């Protein structure tokens, strides 16, 4: 508390009366309290992971908050490219439409009260005309939930699966409570949850506890619970499989599933893989290993462009000699100059 002394001098018959006023500075008290509350708001409550999946295995953080504060550019909290201009949350992506259809729960990241919900939008890729309509109507979020955690702190959950919302406005919510499922509603090119954090109208990056206007490479206090595996993911292998012909990636994006097995008489044998956030200079190796452990086919590629989402495949046509029966394995490896390596295997039966 700050004390302010005001001195007022009144002339009266050659005499001066000095009056001291001791004023309590309520503004200083208020600002001090607000500052303490601000720190408390950023530090507490701590958020849990808001998706019922295992990060790094069947879901991935693919876009972070844009923190550069410059229009026309985008930079994540690590000063990297895993965001896009004006992005105000974190995108946790699933591996496939099939996974979305099977149901992946969205959980309340912290206790609070439901402020608003919106439902009724379909889970599918939108046409250019539909995208423009969504922008015009300000419904890019699709089906969504806004939760008020008190003291000016709120969280938003976007692109939820149609008809999956099971909470109502004004309903009290506990931490970890199921509130909906991950979908692809609104402006969503793939199934994911957009999770956003706001305080007093400003956007907060939960990975740093800082406003999105404060730049990258800084840390105040993470808003995630201590011990949560919420590390920065530079690149991810999110899906893959086999086909008996060149893969139609547009069909795969719409939800076409991999066959459970391939025929001995297949005309071709193709292995495909999907990546999030590949960068120029990344080295990618795709291999198909036959039942005897020999390399059936191999492809090596040094990437010429950075892409947020990219597909690659390798394979060959099958001539008059049939495939061997048994278990084949598609092996993918991506290596970055800074030592980041991701490897994964995708098996398939041929019978």
Report the CATH number at residue 263: 2.60.40.3880
Q: What is the mean pLDDT of residues 168-184?
A: 98
DSSP H/E element including 27: helix 26-43
Predicted confidence band of residue 293 (pLDDT cuts 50, 70, 90): very high
Model pLDDT for residues 189-217, shown as the tens digit of each residue? 999 999 999 999 899 999 999 999 999 99
Distance CA 262, CA 328 (A): 10
Model pLDDT for residues 222-245, shown as the tens digit of each residue? 999 987 878 888 899 999 999 999
pLDDT beyond 60 at 175: yes
Residue 133 lies in a domain: yes
Q: Are residues 100 and 25 in the same domain?
A: no
Q: Are residues 38 and 69 in the same domain?
A: no
What is the count of structural domains for the chain?
Answer: 3
pLDDT beyond 80 at 1: no
Predicted confidence band of residue 49 (pLDDT cuts 50, 70, 90): very high
Q: Are residues 64 and 185 in the same domain?
A: yes
pLDDT of residue 233: 86
Answer for the pair 183, 159: CB distance below 8 angstroms, yes or no: yes
Q: Are residues 73 and 196 in the same domain?
A: yes
Predicted confidence band of residue 271 (pLDDT cuts 50, 70, 90): very high
Q: Are residues 81 and 188 in the same domain?
A: yes
pLDDT of residue 226: 83
Residue 114 lies in a domain: yes
User: Rounded to two decimals, what is the model's pTM?
Assistant: 0.82
Residue 192 lies in a domain: yes
Q: Are residues 267 and 190 in the same domain?
A: no
What domain range is 21 assigned to? 3-43
Q: Are residues 69 and 205 in the same domain?
A: yes
pLDDT beyond 60 at 38: no
pLDDT beyond 70 at 17: no
pLDDT beyond 60 at 44: no
- Mean confidence (pLDDT) of the chain: 87
Mapping DSSP onto H, E and C, the string for 9-20 reads: EEEECCEEEEEE
CA atoms within 13 A on the CB side of 177: 15
Sign of the Cα torsion 160, 162, 168, 172 reads negative
Q: What is the mean pLDDT of residues 32-59?
A: 70
Predicted confidence band of residue 3 (pLDDT cuts 50, 70, 90): very low
DSSP H/E element including 68: none
Distance CA 323, CA 291 (A): 10
Answer for the pair 59, 66: CB distance below 8 angstroms, yes or no: no
The CATH number of the domain holding residue 143 is 2.70.70.10
Residue 229 lies in a domain: no
pLDDT of residue 73: 79
Neighbours of 275 (CB within 10 A): 23
Q: Are residues 193 and 241 in the same domain?
A: no
CA distances from 235 to 192, 311, 336 (A): 16, 13, 9
pLDDT beyond 60 at 301: yes
Distance CA 86, CA 344 (A): 33
Q: What is the mean pLDDT of residues 325-329?
A: 97
Q: Are residues 264 and 341 in the same domain?
A: yes
Answer for the pair 160, 224: CB distance below 8 angstroms, yes or no: no
């Amino acid at each position: 508390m700050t004390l302010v002394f005001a001195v007022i001098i009144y002339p009266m018959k050659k005499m001066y009366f000095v009056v001291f006023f001791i004023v309590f500075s309520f503004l200083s008290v208020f600002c001090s309290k607000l500052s303490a509350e601000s720190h408390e708001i950023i530090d507490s409550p701590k958020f849990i992971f808001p998706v019922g999946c295992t990060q790094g295995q069947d879901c991935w953080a693919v876009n972070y908050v844009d923190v550069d504060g410059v229009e026309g550019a985008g930079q994540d909290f690590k000063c990297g490219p895993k965001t896009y201009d004006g992005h105000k949350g974190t995108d946790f992506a699933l591996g496939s439409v099939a996974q979305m259809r099977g149901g992946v729960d969205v959980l309340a990241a912290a206790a609070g009260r439901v402020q608003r919900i919106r439902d009724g939008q379909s889970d599918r890729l939108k046409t250019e005309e539909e995208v423009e309509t969504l922008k015009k109507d300000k419904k890019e979020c699709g089906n969504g939930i806004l939760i008020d955690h008190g003291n000016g702190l709120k969280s938003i959950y976007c692109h939820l699966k149609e008809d999956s919302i099971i909470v109502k406005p004004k309903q009290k919510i506990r931490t970890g409570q199921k509130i909906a499922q991950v979908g692809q509603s609104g402006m969503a090119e793939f199934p994911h949850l957009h999770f956003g954090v706001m305080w007093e109208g400003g956007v907060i990056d939960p990975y740093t506890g800082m406003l999105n206007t404060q730049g990258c490479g800084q840390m105040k206090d993470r808003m995630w619970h201590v011990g949560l595996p919420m590390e920065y993911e530079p690149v991810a292998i999110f899906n893959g499989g086999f086909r008996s012909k060149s893969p139609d990636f547009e069909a795969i994006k719409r939800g076409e599933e991999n066959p459970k097995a391939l025929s001995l008489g297949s005309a071709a044998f193709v292995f495909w893989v999907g990546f999030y956030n590949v960068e120029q200079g990344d080295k990618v190796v795709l291999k198909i290993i036959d039942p005897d452990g020999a390399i059936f086919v191999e492809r090596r590629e040094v990437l010429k462009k950075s892409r947020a989402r990219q597909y690659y495949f390798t394979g060959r046509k099958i001539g008059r000699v049939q495939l061997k029966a048994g278990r084949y394995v598609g092996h993918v490896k991506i290596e970055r100059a800074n030592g980041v390596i991701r490897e994964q295997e995708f098996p398939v039966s041929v019978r």
